[in-house]
Amino acid sequence: MGNGLQFLDIILLAAVAGFLVLRLRSVLGRRSGHEEPPERYDPFKAEKPESAAEDKIVHLPDRSEQSESDRPVAEDLGVPAGGSTESDTPLAAGLTQIKLADGGFDETTFLDGAKGAFDMIINAFGQGDTRTLRPLLSNDVYEDFAGAIKARVDAGETLETTVIGVKEAELIEAELQGRTAFATIKFVSEQINVTRDADGEVVDGDPNHVASITDIWTFARNTRSRDPNWTLVATRSSN
């Protein structure tokens, strides 16, 4: 009798186990080993909600072109309608082009800055101060100045330069090439220049003579740059 009850209990337990297996298969499904693997999440392929994508975009204004209302007109620059200047010369035409490209350009302010740069460059060159010269000169001009300074040092010579004053600073040429503005100034200055050898003896110049020297310098600046400073790109002398 006891054995019969134990056999019945085993049958009931097997039936319950079989029922549970069937329920699990219906819920989880059956894997045969040939199923496609579940698709892997790829953050670069995942679609972002439109609102989230738009929140990450910052729309910057286009600086390559100005609308007609943003462009300076001839009347705003003191230029008669039609684009011609009071004196129809290459200099006037060049200044008009520069002012159209750079609405902040002012001749008086530019000339004042150029005179300050002239004095600084002349004195730095005399002292052999290449650190001061570097940001004020274009690469080619800097190489020429630095080369002359090195030759002077190698020869054991020193240059004493005193700028008494700038008598004249006249804007004689102006033009715009692409985005770059070029302005050429004729400087007439009074200077004392003396070159001494390693023993302090004068080998060139006269410490008691004030010479009037005319220099013609060309400055350039990218009109799209935020840096307001101009760079010396060419020098020549008419003396």
Tens digit of pLDDT for each residue in 145-172? 999 999 999 999 999 999 999 999 999 9
Q: Which of 20-24, 44-48, 184-188 has the lowest mean pLDDT?
A: 44-48
Averaged pLDDT score across all residues of the chain: 75
Given a contact cutoff of 8 angstroms between Cβ atoms, the answer to whether 146 and 130 are in contact is: yes
Q: What pTM was estimated for this model as a whole?
A: 0.63
Q: Which amino acid is at 26?
A: S
The two tokens of residue 5 are 């009850």
Average pLDDT over residues 174-200: 96
Q: Does domain 74-237 have CATH number 3.10.450.240?
A: yes
Distance separating alpha carbons of residues 207 and 203, to the nearest angstrom: 11
Side-chain half-sphere CA neighbours of 223 within 13 A: 22
**Among the residues of the chain, which ranges form H helices?**
2-28, 50-55, 90-101, 107-127, 130-133, 139-154
| DSSP string for residues in 189-228 | EEEEEEEE-TTS-EEEE-TT-PEEEEEEEEEEEETT-S--
Each residue's pLDDT tens digit, 94-125: 999 999 999 999 999 999 999 999 999 999 99
Best CA proximity match to 117, nearest among 28, 217, 13, 11: 217
Dump pLDDT digits (tens) for 37-81. 333 322 223 333 333 333 322 222 222 233 333 333 333 333 444
Indicate the domain borders of the chain.
Answer: 74-237
Q: Tell me the residue type at 172.
A: I
